[in-house]
Amino acid sequence: MKSKINQSKTLQNHVYEYLHEKIVNGFIPPGHRIVEEQVSQETGVSRSPIREAIRRLNSDGLVSVSPRGGVRVYRPTFSDFNYLYECRLGLEPTAAYYAAIRMNEKQRNHLKNVMEEMNLAVEKKDLEKLKYFSTQFHFFIVEASENPYLMKMMNQLNSLMSFYRNAVLNIPMRLEDGAKEHQAVWEAIQTRNGRAAEELMKAHIQRDFQFYLSEYSNRQSDEINTL
């Protein structure tokens, strides 16, 4: 009995990680329907572990389950993005400050590799890789802050933050600008300049939101014009 339970848990984790990665990296876009049969074909896993994985994703806020049983990737509202922006603005600059001061050589080498991969993705205009390495860049800076409480708060928000970052990175012209801002934060961290890293991260997050506001306003205008 114990081996069957462990096997079921392993399959559930496999499906959860498979869907989680696709959602947070934007491979399954907001509002897209998740069909159990299709997931079963893609993963080779039966329906029961898939349903358990979907329950976990629902608990994370990554999917919404209708009373009739339909499952869709969560589509954040403008208010959601506004609240997430406030959280980012309060937490990530602080993380950048402490990461610059506390990051060890092994961590610096890792972040350097992330930066190189991100810059290469920008050159090739590989949006999917850019989304992945941008998420890694921000996640690793939080981790390198060595503040367990800050990490805990950011980890709780990290999955939902991916919707925010993916939406911003889909905006034309944001790729190059965002890469330059990441580079500036990285250079401040390299020189252990905590205050500069903090201010540059703050400016980067504010710029992200300005781009999103502009895109949101344009979209709203287009919708009104088509009425």
Q: What pLDDT is stored for residue 224 in this prediction?
A: 40
Do the Cβ atoms of 92 and 142 come closer than 8 Å? yes
Least reliable range by pLDDT among 69-73, 148-152, 193-197: 69-73
Q: Which of 21, 53, 73 is the last residue of a domain?
A: 73
- pLDDT tens sequence across 114-169: 999 999 998 898 888 888 888 899 999 999 999 999 999 998 888 888 888 788 87
Same domain membership, residue 94 and residue 26 = no
Evaluate if residue 2 carries a pLDDT over 80: no
What's 25's DSSP letter?
T
Read off the CATH number of the domain in which 135 is found: 1.20.120.530
pLDDT mean over 4-18? 76
Same domain membership, residue 181 and residue 143 = yes
Report the number of distinct structural domains present in the chain.
Answer: 2
185-209 core/surface letters (b: 16 or more CB in 10 A; e: else): bbebbeeebbebbbbbbbebbeebb
Where does the pLDDT of residue 219 fall: very low under 50, low under 70, confident under 90, or very high at 90 and above?
low
Range of the domain at 40: 2-73
191 three-state secondary structure: coil
Do the Cβ atoms of 173 and 125 come closer than 8 Å? no
Read off the CATH number of the domain in which 66 is found: 1.10.10.10
Same domain membership, residue 66 and residue 23 = yes
- pLDDT tens sequence across 44-55: 999 899 999 999
Same domain membership, residue 199 and residue 175 = yes
44 torsion bin: left (phi>0), alpha (psi -120 to 50), beta (else) = left
pLDDT mean over 177-183? 91
The Cα–Cα gap between 32 and 47 comes to 19
Q: What is the mean pLDDT of the chain?
A: 87
Evaluate if residue 226 carries a pLDDT over 50: no
Same domain membership, residue 60 and residue 42 = yes
Same domain membership, residue 124 and residue 66 = no
Same domain membership, residue 152 and residue 115 = yes
